Amino acid sequence: MRTQVAIVGAGPAGLMLGHLLRSEGTDCMVVERQSPEYVLSRIRAGVLEQVTVGLMERLGLDARLRKEGLVEEGFNLADGERLIRIDVAELTGKTVVVYGQTEIQRDLMEAAPSRGLEVVWEADEVALHAIDSDAPFLTYRKDGAEHRVDARFIVGCDGFHGPCRKAVPATAGRSFERVYPFGWLGILADVPPCHDELIYANHERGFALASMRSHTRSRYYIDVALSERIEDWSDDRLWDELAVRLGPEAGARIVRGPALEKSIAPLRSFVFEPMRYGSLLLCGDAAHIVPPTGAKGLNLAASDVHYAAEALVAYFRRNDADAIAGYSDKALARVWKSERFSWTLTRLMHRFPEDGPFERRMQVAELAYVAESRAAQQSIAENYVGLPV
């Protein structure tokens, strides 16, 4: 089989890139290790920046997003006693949209057949070959047979554990990583949100987040030590802890219900440079991970896809090799700014084990400054709503 662009990974990044390339007349196909049902079952965040909404709109796949998405004009920081509202719309003239990543995935998957985007599901043992040449190819096994796909470019949208980044020689890349000493214990429940905007809370007992998927489905988190076990957290215990950490105003409005899903997710910051090696481009979690504080993961993947599609279309339309050569630098410039914001917000809203009274006073002072300073709020709002691409 031969194609112009072979995409590894059929998550939102891979499918979005495939749709963009097909819409511009570039031949491509997507190879995915998991089944469609498994991919759709993954519960992820869904605060969408303008770049992500704009790409779905450009593809004409935004009908459900516009109908069901919740437009958010602001969000809140809580210090245990008060809510500090960041009025994103007033400060930036922009908004974000709450629309679950699962729903983005569904929209992209359902549109693929009618738009001629070929997706090979349940492709085992995916391997990359000759990526340092102009004739790379990948192999995979399906139904007991080995298949080969020849391409001009391969794009890795296969996540942190996929084969694409690992195909880059150790001498050709560099990793930057910060593993955090806690994880997020989350609960998803069919209950109305305790507030109509997101709340990031810094309480003396630890961090909490109140978010939502819809008017009737809520997603809550607290930070816990990595040694904690999900079995030790009953629904009642988690609801009790959330009510305390979110503070009296939001805590009193929590509606409790049985967990649809409960899990503990470790946190890390990770960047791999460069995001291109030879004929391989990396997008999304294959190249970088951000802690969920600030909701940058999916949106960073979308901006990578924007830059990658732009470069690949320029190459195939005008033989513009410079566009391909510039992809990594362009993408990384935005990646590192988003990493900075996620790190800063994580550091502000969480208690780190090594922190003492001084560090706590710094958090209190910073939150007081944010509460009183329009300039500080505008900086946070600009980053939260998404930097330009």
CATH of the domain at 230: 3.30.9.10
Q: Answer yes or no: is 245 within a domain.
A: yes
Q: What integer is the mean pLDDT of 196-212?
A: 95
Count how many domains the chain has: 2
- State whether 295 and 333 are in the same domain: yes
Local confidence band at 69 (pLDDT 50, 70, 90 cut-offs):
very high
Domain CATH number, residue 281: 3.50.50.60
Output the six-digit token pair for 79. Answer: 């210090």
pTM: 0.94
Does one domain contain both 157 and 15? yes
In a domain, 78, yes or no: no
208, 343, 338, 341 alpha-carbon torsion, rounded to 10°: 80
Tell me if 89 is assigned to some domain: no
Confidence of residue 44 (pLDDT cuts 50, 70, 90): confident
Is residue 91, in this structure, part of any structural domain at all? no
Query: Tens digit of pLDDT for each residue in 70-90?
Result: 999 999 999 877 899 999 999
Task: Write out the two tokens for 30.
Answer: 């997507």
Nearest C-alpha neighbor of 109 from the set 229, 10, 28: 10
Interatomic CA distance for residues 267 and 223, integer angstroms:
10
Q: What is the mean pLDDT of residues 247-253?
A: 92
> What single-letter DSSP state applies at residue 336?
H
CB atoms within 10 A of CB 316: 18
Distance between CA atoms of 128 and 284, rounded to whole angstroms?
Answer: 18
Q: What region, left, alpha or beta, does residue 225 occupy, with left being phi > 0 and alpha being psi -120 to 50 degrees?
A: beta
Question: Is residue 283 a part of any domain in this protein?
Answer: yes
The band of 43, judged by pLDDT with boundaries at 50, 70 and 90, is low
124 and 50 inside one domain: yes
The answer to whether position 85 is within a domain reads no
Block residue for tokens 């050709």: 172
Question: Residue 289 corresponds to which tokens in the numbers above?
Answer: 């991970």
SS3 of 10-76: the string is: CCHHHHHHHHHHHHCCCCEEEECCCCHHHHHHCCCCCEECHHHHHHHHHCCCCHHHHHHCEEECCEE
Angle (nearest 5°) at CA 175 between 171 and 179:
150
147 in a domain, yes or no? yes
Domain span at residue 308 reads 5-72+98-177+268-345
Regarding whether 201 and 172 lie in a shared domain, the answer is no
The two three-digit tokens of residue 324, written as one number: 């391909």
User: Is there a single domain that holds both residue 238 and residue 273?
Assistant: no
Percent of the chain with pLDDT over 70: 100
Unique residue bearing structure tokens 């990526």: 131
DSSP code for 131: T
Q: Looking at the structure, do residues 120 and 30 belong to the same domain, yes or no? A: yes
- CA angle 33–37–42, rounded 5-degree value: 85
With bands split at pLDDT 50, 70 and 90, how would you rate the model's confidence at 32? very high
Confidence of residue 41 (pLDDT cuts 50, 70, 90): confident
Q: Do both 235 and 224 map to the same domain?
A: yes
Residue-level pLDDT at 275: 98
What is residue 277's predicted lDDT score, i.e. its pLDDT?
A: 98
CB-based contact 341:291 (threshold 8 Å): no
